[in-house]
Amino acid sequence: MDRDNILLTPGPLTTTLRTKLAMLKDWGSWDADFNAITARVRHELLDILHAQDTHVVVPLQGSGTFSVEAAVSTVVPRDGHLLVLDNGAYCKRMGKLATMMGRKTTIATRTEDAPVDTGEVERLLLADPSITHVGLIHCETGTGVVNPLKAISDLCARLGKGLIVDAMSSFAALPIDARELRFDALIAASGKCLEGVPGMGFVFLRKDLLTQCADNSHSLAMDLCDQHYYMERTGQWRFTPPTHVVVALAEAMQQFKEEGGQTARLARYEDNLRTLVDGMAALGFNTFLDPQYLSPIIVTFRAPAHPAYDFKQFYASAKAQGFMLYPGKLTEVETFRVGCIGAIGRKEMQQAVNAVARTLNEMGIASAA
């Protein structure tokens, strides 16, 4: 096979040749040309969110989880109290990291097969006035369910609570407009729906909170206020930046604009979703979520209830045909996940469905039903 494997995962993603080629040049971390690229990326990220007037954006080295931890430690005071709305694995991760850094944390766990309930959240907030902040995963990538960002934002604004949004898998695909939402921090990363490569996260912080957050962080490397003020003063990163990741993201964002921005990207991902779900249904696969909760980010499928099914064999066969699937994140039901995002379209999604059909045949499974 003369092409890379298609990554049907929630990140890293399949990237374009243009994005890959952007990484073939070395950059000096303090060089003016590289600093200009960093400044352009930050400016254009704010444009995507319509947040130039209300927020700053702070890039950070590392995976998206680094930036989630940095956002929580920067925004939530050491005597604050974070309520994490838990309907999946990445919600639990936010609760765990907040607890480990010593913040008082309440994890409100509910079923994984539906969005969080705004009424339930309001009851929890009214029952415990000590809660200062709410942590929300916009698209819970463990299942693909999308949580009600606007409703939770309105609720937090009405009750005077801070809001931290993990938009890792939704930013640049699902509509998010800072002019219509109130949040303290919103987190995303380079290797998701912007279709860059992994290695850099970024956090949008409300401008009017910066002075209040200055002494909250327990970590030197993850202090977003310090990172922001240093960048504003010098144009540079405090510590060695992921130079190749930054320039790849700059190139990916140029392609994002050429495609037509968020609305065009969402349309392509929704087409990918339809192609995938219809094709898999024809093979007998059922989605874990009810159809009304499916998102064009990643789809969780129930594994075939057949004695010959083995995920490792299933994965290996699909990979040999050029498609990399993703294991499930659920503990009570055996599942696997297929991503709809990345530099792929209807053709690649149909090819993936065809590969799954051949894999079932190899395993002696007539239907996944």
Range of the domain at 326: 6-11+260-363
The pLDDT score that the predictor gives to residue 4 is: 86
Residue 143 covered by a domain: yes
Residue 190 CB burial class (10 angstroms; 0-12, 13-18, ≥19): buried
* Same domain assignment for residues 271 and 244: no
The pLDDT score that the predictor gives to residue 3 is: 67
* Same domain assignment for residues 27 and 143: yes
* Same domain assignment for residues 298 and 168: no
User: Considering only CA atoms, which of 13, 47, 30 is closest in space to residue 254?
Assistant: 47
Tens of pLDDT, residue by residue over 278-305, are 999 999 999 999 999 999 999 999 999 9
* Same domain assignment for residues 220 and 270: no
* Same domain assignment for residues 53 and 92: yes
Q: Specify the number of domains making up the chain.
A: 2
By the 8 A CB rule, do 252 and 196 touch?
yes
Residue 122 covered by a domain: yes
Among the candidates 216, 239, 257, a domain finishes at: 257
* Same domain assignment for residues 61 and 195: yes
Residue 195 covered by a domain: yes
**Residue labelled with tokens 């990445």:** 90
pLDDT tier, 21 (very low <50, low <70, confident <90, very high otherwise): very high
Residue 270 above 80 pLDDT? yes
pLDDT tier, 333 (very low <50, low <70, confident <90, very high otherwise): confident
Per the prediction, the chain carries an average pLDDT of 96
Residue 271 covered by a domain: yes
Residue 369 covered by a domain: no
**Residue labelled with tokens 């065009």:** 264
* Same domain assignment for residues 160 and 307: no
pLDDT tier, 329 (very low <50, low <70, confident <90, very high otherwise): confident
- State mean pLDDT over 258-268: 98
Residue 186 to residues 45, 270, 273, 321, 331, Cα–Cα distance (Å): 12, 23, 25, 37, 28
pLDDT tier, 2 (very low <50, low <70, confident <90, very high otherwise): very low
The pLDDT score that the predictor gives to residue 332 is: 77
Residue 337 covered by a domain: yes
Among the candidates 257, 285, 317, a domain finishes at: 257
* % of the chain at pLDDT higher than 70: 99
Residue 368 covered by a domain: no
* % of the chain at pLDDT higher than 90: 96
* Same domain assignment for residues 251 and 273: no
pTM assigned to the model: 0.96
* Same domain assignment for residues 162 and 54: yes
Among the candidates 211, 237, 257, a domain finishes at: 257
* Same domain assignment for residues 212 and 268: no
* Same domain assignment for residues 249 and 287: no
Residue 1 covered by a domain: no
Residue 1 above 70 pLDDT? no
**Can you give the CATH number for the domain in which 215 is found?**
3.40.640.10
- State mean pLDDT over 23-44: 97
Residues in the chain: 369
* Same domain assignment for residues 168 and 287: no
